[in-house]
Amino acid sequence: MPRRPLRLRTAEADAEVRAGLDRIRAEFSVPGPFPPAALAEAARAAAPPDGRADLREVPFFTLDPPGSLDLDQAMHLERRGSGHRVRYAIADVAGFVRPGGALDAEAHARGVTLYLPDANAPLHPRRLSEGTASLLPGRDRPAVAWTIDVDAAGRITGVDVRRAVVRSRARLDYATARHDDGDPRIALLGEVGERLIAAEAARGGVSLPLPEQEVAHADGGWALKLRGDLATEAWNAQISLLTGRAAARLMLAGGVGLLRTMPPAPAEAVARLRLAARALGVAWPADASYGDIVRALDPAVPRHAAFLHDAAGLMRGAGYTAFDGAAPGQAAHAAVAAPYAHVTAPIRRLADRYATEVCLALAAGRPVPGWVREALPRLPEAMQRALRRAADVDHACVDLVEALLLREHVGEVFDAVVVDVSADRSGGRVQLVAPPVFGRCEGADLPLGEQVKVRLEEADPARRRVRFSRTE
């Protein structure tokens, strides 16, 4: 059965991918060039005035995907007794964007940075997002500096946030950090990250270990790969989650803010997942939560992969909740198992600029700025709209490259794992062993979690659709 990686290499294939990506841009109204007025504001924007804490001697470093230039966060970690001190410097985008100006209006229209395989559509002009606002190494940069102390159990014991000037020492990426076992910064990140992961589990939180499909353009061609399964990414994510939890605490204590929330999974959904576990042979003791089960599974095992895809269905209903006065009834994020806010990616996500300004004001005992308070009620809907578009664009890009990769292989048989079965058992979804393609599969009584052989029946780049049938 075909297991070799498939790659599009010819100039004709490259042109087809780019033409397909252009169609996706048009279909989902991906923003193009910035209006002249917004570009003019970005060109005039200068570093915010003095009066900041000087943290340039702190050896911050950034950790991002390879090639990233829009660097929102830089960190410095140190041991303090039996716990740790986490310093997290966040790009101070509010220092460059004038409320109510042309650049602000364009950011509200965009909501988030959209990432496509050939180019991104940034939330802010590159002059800011990859230049004066980005925490590039060796440059003095205005930042919002969080200092968070955690104890040996990963619990927050102290929080401070203020404006500062910082200078990152190094730009690390996930791929190189994984292979650099001798870097004490990564070793300490692993130490802190594992403590925070254990604390998340103790709270009842859960992070699904499902790698994501990603379109890659390298070595003269296009291919699909799976990403998201590196320990460094999980540790880095925990630092961001820690800061988001600290921000939510400030907001709830101050009675104003913008939370990222998600309700608990309905009991009937958990009951259905227990039935799926039984069908797949995944042990689920009566006193264990689904988070306990998920953490023990390996997505490389077919039955585990199928269960994890089912478990993803419990993580629905995430949104933004603005409040000014009484705390909202639903203040927690079920996957985090705590109140949580987005504050760590203001270059790439609009809401973070506003949530950060709330935290700065509350921490300093000042009133929240009027321009922030006025915008808070409108942000949940704007952000949900932007995030839906981002998800649609991501899926469309993957679907396009899947269809193009497989177009010349219609009629061939592949090894695959059944990851979902339709309610009427007339078909389902499969994941090929190689390349990492998901697709609709026809055939009665597909064995959930089992490896099967499937024939490729259709690969249509114009419709961005791939379809299989079971051959045995």
Model pLDDT for residues 338-350, shown as the tens digit of each residue: 999 999 999 999 9
**Measured between alpha carbons, how far is 70 from 76 in angstroms, rounded to an integer?**
19
Residues 183 and 90 in one domain: yes
- Residue 314 placed within a domain: no
Domain assignment present for 397: no
Does residue 46 lie within any of the structural domains?
Answer: yes
- For residues 289-298, give the mean pLDDT: 86
Together in a domain, 91 and 130: yes
- With a CB cutoff of 8 Å and minimum separation 6, the contacts of 440 are 427, 428, 429, 465, 466, 467, 468
Distance CA(184)–CA(443), nearest Å, equals 52
Last residue of a domain, one of 362, 391, 420: 391
What is the number of domains present in the chain? 2
What CA–CA distance (Å, rounded) separates 136 from 203? Answer: 35
Q: Which of 299-313, 318-332, 452-466 has the lowest mean pLDDT?
A: 299-313
The verdict on 305 and 234 lying in the same domain is no
246 and 335 both lie in a single domain: yes
pLDDT at position 300: 74
At residue 5 the predicted structure's pLDDT band, cuts being 50, 70 and 90, is low
Count the neighbouring beta carbons within 10 Å of the beta carbon of residue 304: 20
In a domain, 463, yes or no: yes
Residue-level pLDDT at 231: 85
Task: Average the pLDDT over each of 192-196, 419-423, 458-462 and give the range with the smallest value.
Answer: 419-423
pLDDT at 438: 87
Rounded to whole angstroms, how far apart are CA atoms 73 and 347? 10
On the question of pLDDT at 3 being above 70, the answer is: no
Region of 154 please: left (phi>0), alpha (psi -120 to 50) or beta: left
Residues 136 and 252 in one domain: yes
Q: What's the N-to-C CA distance of the chain in angstroms?
A: 13
How many C-beta atoms lie closer than 10 Å to residue 295's C-beta? 15
**Paired tokens of 345:** 């990616």
Region 271-295 average pLDDT: 87
User: Is the entire prediction scored with pTM above 0.85?
Assistant: yes
pLDDT above 90: residue 126: yes
Average of per-residue pLDDT values in the chain = 91
| Tokens, residue 155 | 């619990």
pLDDT score of 310: 83
Domain boundary among the residues 332, 362, 391 is at 391
225 belongs to a structural domain = yes
Q: What percent of the chain has pLDDT over 70?
A: 97
| Residue 432 pLDDT level (bands cut at 50, 70, 90) | confident
| Cα torsion 177, 178, 183, 186: sign | positive
Asked if residue 48 has pLDDT above 80, the reply is: no
Residue showing tokens 């925990």: 238
Task: Compute the average pLDDT of residues 274-299.
Answer: 86
Instruction: Please indicate, yes or no, if residue 3 is contained in any of the structural domains.
Output: no
Alpha-carbon distance 444 to 447, whole Å? Answer: 9
- The segment with the largest mean pLDDT, out of 43-52, 92-101, 272-281, is 92-101
Q: Which pair of structure tokens corresponds to residue 77?
A: 């970690």
Do the bridges between strand 319-324 and strand 256-261 make them parallel or antiparallel, or are there none, so unpaired? antiparallel
Examine the pLDDT at 227 and tell me if it is beyond 90. Answer: no
Q: 359, 391, 423 — which closes off a domain?
A: 391
Contact present, 86 and 150 (Cβ < 8 Å): yes
343 vs 351: CA distance, rounded Å? 8
pLDDT of residue 112 exceeding 50: yes
Mark whether 73 and 146 lie in a shared domain. Answer: yes
pLDDT given at position 1: 35
Q: How many CA atoms are closer than 13 Å to the CA of 376, on its beta-carbon side?
A: 22
- Give the pLDDT confidence of 349-378 residue by residue, as tens digits: 999 999 999 999 999 999 999 999 999 999
Q: How confident is the model at residue 276 (pLDDT cuts 50, 70, 90)?
A: confident
Asked if residue 448 and residue 360 are part of one domain, the reply reads no
**Residue carrying the six token digits 């939330």:** 123
Q: Give pLDDT, residue 275.
A: 85
Residue 459's Cβ-side half-sphere holds a number of Cα atoms within 13 Å equal to 18
Q: Are residues 452 and 334 in the same domain?
A: no
pLDDT at 22: 96
- Is pLDDT of 72 > 80? yes
The CATH number linked to 277 is: 2.40.50.140
Same domain, 331 and 435: no
Same domain, 335 and 414: no
pLDDT at 2 over 50: no
49 in a structural domain: yes
| pLDDT value at residue 76 | 98
Does residue 441 sit in the same domain as residue 466? yes
Which stretch of 178-182, 230-234, 280-284 has the lowest confidence by average pLDDT? Answer: 178-182
Answer yes or no: is 100 within a domain.
yes
Burial of 279 per CB tally in 10 Å (0-12, 13-18, 19+)? middle
Nearest to 382 by CA among 69, 104, 40: 104
Asked whether the beta carbons of 73 and 89 are under 8 A apart, the reply is yes
Average pLDDT over residues 217-246: 85
Q: In this model, does residue 4 exceed pLDDT 60?
A: no
Q: Which domain holds residue 455?
A: 268-309+403-470
Whether 220 contacts 9, CB under 8 Å? yes
The stretch 43-55 carries a mean pLDDT of 84
Residues 196 and 340 in one domain: yes
> What is the reported pLDDT for 180?
56
